[in-house]
Amino acid sequence: MSTADKKPTAAWIGTGVMGRWMCEHLMDAGYHTVVYNRTKSKAQPLIDKGAVFAGSPKEAAEQADIIFTIVGFTKDVREVYFSDTGILAGAKNGSIVVDMTTTNPSLAVEIFRQAEAKGISSIDAPVSGGDVGAREARLTIMSGGDKTAFDQVLPLFEVMGRNINYLGEAGAGQHTKACNQIVIAGTMVGVCESLLYGYKAGLSMEQLIETISKGAAGCWTLDNLAPRIAKHDYDPGFIVEHFIKDMGIALQEAQAMELSLPGLALAHQLYVALKAQGRGKDGTQALILALDALSNAGFSRS
C-alpha cells in the first residue's frame, strides 16, 4: 500500500460479463483504477468512466497496489500471471494479487508461491452469483491465501459482494468454489430428472414445482431455475460451457486427492453431451434437454 490513509490503486484485468461490473463498483466507491482486457472494446465503458487503460497485465500491475484478475480459463490465468508481459513481471514488492477467476486450487498455490518469492501477497477469491450477482454487488466471495492481505482487500470485496469469506491458506477459496459447484451439479441432475419424470407422468410442472419445493427437496435450483425450465426458457444465468469448465476443475483436483466423485462425473458427462447438442451458451438449466434426448422423451417438442 502507498500509505495507510490513501485509498489503494486497483488494477483490474479481465473486464468481461463479471469483471466489468465488479470493477465499476470499485470505481464508484472511489478507487483509482487501471484496467486491462485482451479485447479493449469490452473495457470501454470503464475507460469512459475514467479508468486508465494499460497496454498489458504487466503495465497495469506496475501502477497498482492491489491487482484483481477475472479471466476465462486456466490457461488465460497462467498467461496473465506468468508471461513476460504478465502481472508477476510488473507487480511492486508489497502489492497484492487477487485472482477471482474460478480455476484450479493447485494453480492458486502456484501463483501464491511465485508471488511470495517476489514479495507480493496473493489471494484466490473465486465468486458465485453470476453476472446478475456481479451487477447487483451481491456476489459470494470465497477466499484463500494470505490472511493479512485478505484483511486489506476486504473493504474492496465489500463493494462487490455480500457474503465474503476467508477459508484458509492458498487454494482454499478455489476448493470452496469447487465444493459449491459439486452441490449444484447434483442438485441440477436431481431437479432436471425430476421435472422430466413429471412431464412424462403427465403432471403439471408448475404445480409439481410448487408442491415439492416447500419440503426436503427444496433448493435454489427448484426455486429459481425449475420455473424457467417449465417455460422452456434456457437463457443463461450461468452458461453450460463455464459449468463444464468448473466441474472439470473439481474432477481434476478430486483425482489428484485420490477421490472418486461418481455423481459429479456423471453430471459432467451429461453437460458434455448437452454442449455437443449445440447448447454450450445456454443456461445450465438446459440440462433437461440432454436427459430428454437420452430417452427421446419429447419434452423439447412439447
Find the binding residues for its own copies in span 112-131 (CB under 8 A): 128-130
What span, in angstroms and rounded, lies between the C-alpha atoms of 47 and 39? 13
Least Å from the CB of residue 70 to its own copies: 17
Q: Which residues contact 232 (CB under 8 A, 6 or more apart)?
A: 300, 302
Number of residues near its own copies (by CB under 8 A): 73
Is residue 177 annotated as a catalytic residue, yes or no?
Answer: yes
Q: Can you give the three-state secondary structure of 70-126, one letter per residue?
A: CCCCHHHHHHHHHCCCCHHHCCCCCCEEEECCCCCHHHHHHHHHHHHHCCCEEEECC
Q: What is the CA radius of gyration of the chain?
A: 21
User: Is residue 253 within the footprint of its own copies (CB under 8 A)?
Assistant: yes
Q: Judged by CB under 8 A, which stretch of 65-73, 79-87, 88-96, 257-265 contacts its own copies? A: 257-265
Find the binding residues for its own copies in span 134-163 (CB under 8 A): 140, 142, 163
User: Is residue 244 within the footprint of its own copies (CB under 8 A)?
Assistant: no
Find the binding residues for its own copies in span 51-110 (CB under 8 A): 105
Q: Which of 193, 227, 228, 252 is close enough to bind its own copies by CB under 8 A?
A: 193
Q: Which residue has the cell 477421490?
A: 259
b/e map 211-223, b = 16+ CB within 10 Å: ebbeeeeebebbe
Q: Which of 70, 182, 229, 239 is close enough to bind its own copies by CB under 8 A?
A: 182
Q: Judged by CB under 8 A, which stretch of 25-33, 55-63, 114-122, 211-219 contacts its own copies? A: 211-219
Q: Which residue has the cell 427421446?
A: 296
Q: Judged by CB under 8 A, which stretch of 1-9, 58-66, 149-157, 193-201 contacts its own copies? A: 193-201
User: Is residue 254 within the footprint of its own copies (CB under 8 A)?
Assistant: yes
